[in-house]
A = this chain, B = another copy of it.
Amino acid sequence: MDDITLYFHIERLFAAYCACLDEDRLEAWPELFTADGSYTMISRENHAHGHPIPLLWLDGRGMLEDRIHALRNASIYEAHRYRHAQSGVQVIDRDDDEVRVASSYIVVQTRGEGFSEVYQAGSYYDRIAIDGDTMRFRERLVVYDTARIKTLLATPV
């Protein structure tokens, strides 16, 4: 796969990821991960100091599906919308069946009272499995800069 094609498929995966969360199609979100894929969210400070204590750790697609099921059926949280902006997408390393990618994100949130504001900013560090033209997250590590957020984390970022 040449570089233009590689980045093209990465961009499509990232767009699908953002669209699942931003357009409230949460049920489609776990499908963007491999069956054994993981989603980990950890603060910049803990990550920098090597403290392996994440805010959220979902290991395997089943846990991702559980999280969405809980959000839809059990959790109580204020209605909100996310909008992602993503930039600085860089392939760090690659081999035949995997590519490692780093990028920056900014998430704007609109809550019930109708105001939109920056909710969180940080980095995605990804291991993406390549299966022909299909790419899926084997590991998405979310390292957030934002130490204080105004609401509890409900929807994944």
Contact = CB atoms under 8 A, between A and B. Distances in A.
A88 B22 contact: yes
**Protomer copies:** 3
A96 interface: no
A104 B83 contact: yes
A19 B87 CA distance: 9
A45 B28 CA distance: 22
Contacts of A117: 117-118
Contacts of A97: none
Interface in A116-142: 116-123
A74 to B, nearest CB: 23
Interface string A25-54: 000000000000000000010000000000
Contacts of A44: 81
6 A-B pairs with least C-beta separation: A114-B147, A18-B88, A114-B148, A85-B85, A110-B145, A83-B121
Interface of A: 3-5, 7-8, 11-12, 14-16, 18-19, 22-23, 44, 81, 83-90, 102, 104-106, 108, 110, 113-123, 145-148
Given A7-B11, A44-B81, A115-B146, 15 more contacts: A4-B5, A14-B87, A19-B90, A22-B88, A23-B88, A84-B104, A106-B108, A106-B116, A110-B121, A110-B145, A110-B147, A113-B148, A114-B147, A115-B147, A115-B148
